[in-house]
Structures are given as structure tokens and as C-alpha cells.
Structure 1
Amino acid sequence: MKPHVAVIKGGWSAERDVSLVSGSAAARALAARGYRVTEIDAGHDLAQKLAELKPDVAFNALHGRWGEDGCVQGILEVLEIPYTHSGVMASAVAMNKPMAKRVCAAAGVPVTEDRVVASEDLFKADPLPRPYVVKPVDEGSSVGVVILHPGDNTFSPDVEGPWQQNTEVMVERYIAGRELTCAVIGDRATTGVTELRPKRGFYDYEAKYSEGLTEHLIPAPVDPEIYERVRHLALSAHRALGCRGVSRADFRFDDTSGGAGELILLEVNTQPGMTPLSLVPEMAAYEGISFEDLVVWMVEDASCRR
């Protein structure tokens, strides 16, 4: 008899809408394979709901704060419910961008220089030479990311940005060039590396989740040596952070004229999206792994950790 799976989705982070789509897609896939599925829109009573439901395993489809940063993972550990994706420590560290970069750098994965600054200090002077990127310290899906180029107007408290919701932000050097990404499934990097080409601006939240705004090129049209290095570094970052199940690593590759040719890790996503536009299902499909097969593998992988 197949296990009873609780699909946890929604929540109250900035990525709630994406999580609802991811969770619904995973629930449909599991139901189609004969699993008993209960969908839970996560609220502050999540622990109580799970304690009453007593599922055999949880599919964690939450994205962003509280669902991807170790909080929900801790609840599931206390309730002794096996769950998909990474554990408490890996989730917490990967969600904290500065800390994740330190861990990955110690493992030999190249990252760019950064500073964590008080939001109010952004309005006094540039913390780094332009161009640079401003990010929330602990958000995903490019939520709140802003790039400041030479000649741009200085930030203002009245302009929308991560400084309005966060007392501290991370500022890092902007890397020109291409956006590359690779998934890790289990203990191996996917053979498919994807290049992302936004049709306007950069690969922000809207470009990620709006159909037609970003071109996905798989396999990425880059030199084979760079292609394999992306795969190697994605797996290295996954292992350095202690991730398990499925993760996805995002990179910048500077192949611009006069550029340094550097390949830089941006971040590791421990709970990648599972929407129709999401990258991990696309990379799995490149290897002949259907969406249903991928979701079932994730649940069975979690069940083995009971």
C-alpha cells in the first residue's frame, strides 16, 4: 500500500503564489500514481494539522521564508514525519545568502565578494563600486533583487526595494555575462545545464514565473569545459551545504568582451519550483525523467529516511 503524502504548500512568504502552483502540480502527479494525497495550505497551525493528519511522508512544496529556511523542517523533525528536500541545517544555511557563500567558498566553489549592510546606509554612499546587486539576506526567487549601474539614480527610501522590508541587505559585485543553472538529484548533477536568457532586464521574479519572458536553452550553448564545470560546482555546493533530495545551483558566467571569464555561484535553491515553467522538471525531462517520476522519486527518497 502506497504511503499517505501530505503536500504542504502556500504559506505566508513572498513566494506563496508560486508555492501553491508547485504543490498542486506535485499533488496531481502523486494522485495519478495511486498515492493517497492530502494538500495543506500552510498556516500558523501547521504543526497541529500535521499532528492530527499523521501522514506517512510530507512533500514540502513551500518556497521562501518559514518553509525553505529550516522552520517547517524543524516541525517535521519533531513530529517524526519524513519529508522531501534538505534538512534543518542545510535549509537554514542555504537560505542565508552570506552564510551559504562562506560555506561554498570554503569548499572551493567560486563566489563573488559581498557586504552585508544596514539598509539605511545604502542611502548614504555606495557600499561597493558600481555596478552591484542588492538582495535580501534570506529570500529566494530573486524577490526584492535590484541592480544599480553607473549613472543610475541613487537609492531612496521611497523607491521599492529590499531595504523597505529588511533592516539589513546583502550587496555583491555584479557579474556580467550569462545565467546558467544546474540541478542535483540525489547524489548526481543533471546532465542538462540550462542557460536562461530573459527577454528584458534580468532574471527576476517576473521573468521566472511569467510565460514567454525568458528563453530556456538546454543544453546550454557554452564550451564543454564550462558546461562540465557547472555540473561539478553544482554538486560540490550541494554537498558542502549538506543538501539532500533535489537542489538547484545558479551561476553567472562572464564571457563578455574583455571579461575575466569567471564562473561564479550565485546561490543554491534547496526547494526549487515545481511549476510548469520551473527548471528542475525541465532538466529532469531532458534526461527522460517525467514530472510524475521525479515527484515519486522525491517522495520515495524521503520515505527511506524514516
Structure 2
Amino acid sequence: MNGPSSVVVLAGGLSHEREVSLRSGRRVAQALRGQGLDVIETDADSTLVDQLERAGEVVVFPLLHGEAGEDGSLREVLSLLDVPFVGAVASASRMTFDKSIATRVIADAGVPTPAQIALPHETFRELGAASLVRALGDQLGFPMMVKPAKGGSALGCTKVTSAEQLPAAMVAAYAYGQVAVVESFVDGTEITVAVIDRGSGPEALPAVQIQPESGIYDYAARYTAGRTRFICPAQLPDEVADRAADTALTVHRLLGLADLSRTDLIVAADGRPYFLEANVAPGMTETSALPLAVEAAGWDLGTISADLVRNAWERGVRTSVGSRPGSASGASVGNRHDR
């Protein structure tokens, strides 16, 4: 078969980012239909497995944001069902989604990152909040950033400028997960760099510079038209832009990502890009950075999306053929995507 019979665009879910995911899904589905592909839009609910089994030879394009979509669990199910999908495998998604793990992996490789301390809710509660607040202030200084270890769209994130603000910020972060990360604040230019692999290796797209009207790139600034100014390509010296692109490519490789990713960075006054986080299912809405970068690169979102679907399909076919009994690989029949 030359390609999948349909593309299943998976959007929605039950996370706090459901509405954003639905907007991303609608945009990608429209772009894929513009390429002549048959597209099925569906949610992640109790009917999904039955739908996939009835749909035949399909590729899934996961656009679920937040925990269920980016923590690897859904991708684990797709691999179990032997359904090819766009993007990183479960293990890479799981590592990337947890900032307390991903930041350590990136820092250990020599990439600049903010100093970070991860605190489970139980530890913060049991060991005495007042003592820990003092210790955090002494260790990291102010200002600092507090955010959930797992989550996206800046939900539960707070910039803290004094010890008095820290307890409330911790509570806000714990509302979105059991572990909070507290990071030293890096002042500089906020950018995000997308990486796309169209089949010949990962390429960094032009960096997008982010200038929120409020000064804080929070949920409202991200998804309300007019609340944030996006500049693409970012207003950076060429050597700094190249350094940011190299950092995003390094992150993509270190975390084992595939097809597409987006890395958020702060460029400090000395021109060094600091890693903040990476995303395995970047937003594709009208106010999202990745489509802006695609346009700035002179590419078309529909063409890119179709290329990613083709990559996922061919990867699945190659692995499926290689896993047949008696094949050269000698691998057993099973997960086409994770191998």
C-alpha cells in the first residue's frame, strides 16, 4: 500500500488544555484535507480503540496537549495497537513532559539551564513550608519561577519576586500536579524554536520571539489574539540565532524526539540560550508559534503535516516488514513505532 487510507487527527482529551487541543486539531485537519488526504477527527475517549480497529490502515496525528496527550500514555496505547503515529515514542514523551527529569538530562549534557529544585507536594507539606521557603530563597534567590513539573500552556506557573509570594505560587503549581519545580529566573529574550523532520533529518525553523503585552507569557497571553506579539524570525544577531537553533536540535536529539518538537528558550544578555522546556505536541492554533515559524521558513503547514504523516507511515511499514519472522532483522512481531 502506498500510504494510509486515512489520517486520524486526535484532539481534545480531558486535560486543562482541551480547548487549545481542539483548536490545534481543527487547524491540522483542515491543512491535511487541503493536501487531498482523508481525515478523521476524533477525541481520546472510550470509543477510540474501536474506531482505530475499524478504520483500517491509518496514521494517527496526536494533537492532545497536557498530561494524557504528552506524558507518553496515549502513545504507549498506539504502539500496543501497532498503529503508526506522528511524533515521539512513549518513553521520549514521558521524559520530555516531566520538567524535573528533562531539565536534568539537558543540563547534564552541558546545555545552559536555570538552577532547578523539584519538590513533591507531600515533601513540601510534611517538612514545613516556612523552612523550605527560606531554603529556596537562600538557594535560588529572587526572582524565581514556580511551575508544575508536568504540564503545559503555562498553567500553574508563577514568577515569584519575594518570599511572601512563594507559598501561594507553590499551591498554584500543586493544583496541576503532585510535583512542583522551582527555578532561578533567567532574564532575557524569550524565544521558541521548532524542529521538523520532513524525512531527511531534523531541521530547526526560524526562532519565534515572544513579547507578551503583560510581560508574562501566561495562558491568556498564549491563546488570546492580540495579547502577545510574535516576531519571526526573532530579532537576534545571526550567531545567537544559530546558537539557539543548535540548542533546539541538541534538545531534540538528547530527549529522543521525532518528527516535530518545540523548544522554549531564554536568550540571556551574554547571548547564551537557556533551556526552559520542550514540547512533543506543539500547539497549532492561530496564535501558536510553530505555524508562524513554518510560514517564516517559506513552508506550508499542509505540506509539512502531510510529510510528517508520510514519515510515520513509512516508519511503520519499514519496522513491520523488518519484524516479520525470517526477516533480516530477526525481530519479533510487535510495536512498529518504538523500534
TM-score (norm 2): 0.83
In the aligned structure 1, how far is the partner of 2:63 from the partner of 2:259?
13
**Closer, same or farther: CA 219–155 of 1 in aligned 2, 3 Å:** same
In the aligned structure 2, how far is the partner of 1:60 from the partner of 1:156?
34
- Which letter maps to 2:289? L
**Closer, same or farther: CA 13–191 of 1 in aligned 2, 3 Å:** closer
In the aligned structure 2, how far is the partner of 1:191 from the partner of 1:61?
20
Encode CA deviations 1:139-176: one digit per residue, 9 max, x unaligned.
0121111110137644349x971223433211111111
Q: CA deviation at 1:261?
A: 5.0
* Structure 1 equivalent of residue 261 of structure 2: 247
**Gaps spanning 5+ residues in structure 2: where?**
317-339
Encode CA deviations 1:7-36: one digit per residue, 9 max, x unaligned.
111000111101001111111122222212
- Within the candidate set 62, 75, 90, 2:64 is matched to 62
In the aligned structure 2, how far is the partner of 1:116 from the partner of 1:44?
34
Encode CA deviations 1:186-217: one digit per residue, 9 max, x unaligned.
13333411111111131111111111111111
| Matched-pair contact (CA < 8 Å) for 1:11–1:67 | yes
**Closer, same or farther: CA 261–30 of 1 in aligned 2, 3 Å:** closer
Identify the range of structure 1 (169-178 vs 145-154) with the bigger mean alpha-carbon deviation.
145-154
Identify the range of structure 1 (105-114 vs 91-100) with the bigger mean alpha-carbon deviation.
105-114
| Matched-pair contact (CA < 8 Å) for 1:2–1:36 | no
**How many residues matched?**
301
- Within the candidate set 201, 207, 212, 1:193 is matched to 207
In the aligned structure 2, how far is the partner of 1:98 from the partner of 1:118?
11
| Matched-pair contact (CA < 8 Å) for 2:11–2:24 | yes
| Matched-pair contact (CA < 8 Å) for 1:2–1:34 | no
* Structure 1 equivalent of residue 274 of structure 2: 264
* Structure 1 equivalent of residue 309 of structure 2: 299
Encode CA deviations 1:213-239: one digit per residue, 9 max, x unaligned.
111111111122211100000000000
- Which letter maps to 1:283? A
| Matched-pair contact (CA < 8 Å) for 1:6–1:55 | no
- Within the candidate set 258, 274, 277, 2:287 is matched to 277
**Gaps spanning 5+ residues in structure 1: where?**
none
* Structure 1 equivalent of residue 331 of structure 2: none
Alignment of 1:1-306 (within 5 A): 3=4, 4-119=6-121, 120-121=124-125, 123-124=129-130, 125-126=133-134, 127=136, 128-150=140-162, 153-156=165-168, 161-186=172-197, 187-255=201-269, 262-306=272-316
In the aligned structure 2, how far is the partner of 1:78 from the partner of 1:114?
35
| Matched-pair contact (CA < 8 Å) for 2:195–2:205 | no
| Matched-pair contact (CA < 8 Å) for 1:107–1:237 | no
Q: Percent identity?
A: 33
| Matched-pair contact (CA < 8 Å) for 2:291–2:301 | yes
**Closer, same or farther: CA 213–89 of 1 in aligned 2, 3 Å:** same
- Which letter maps to 1:294? I
Higher relative helix content = 2
Q: Give the number of the structure whose alpha-carbon radius of gyration is greater.
A: 2
| Matched-pair contact (CA < 8 Å) for 2:240–2:271 | no
Encode CA deviations 1:68-122: one digit per residue, 9 max, x unaligned.
1111101110111100111111100000101111221233221111111134458
**Closer, same or farther: CA 160–206 of 1 in aligned 2, 3 Å:** farther
In the aligned structure 2, how far is the partner of 1:75 from the partner of 1:277?
30
Q: CA deviation at 1:2?
A: 5.2
Q: CA deviation at 1:123?
A: 4.1
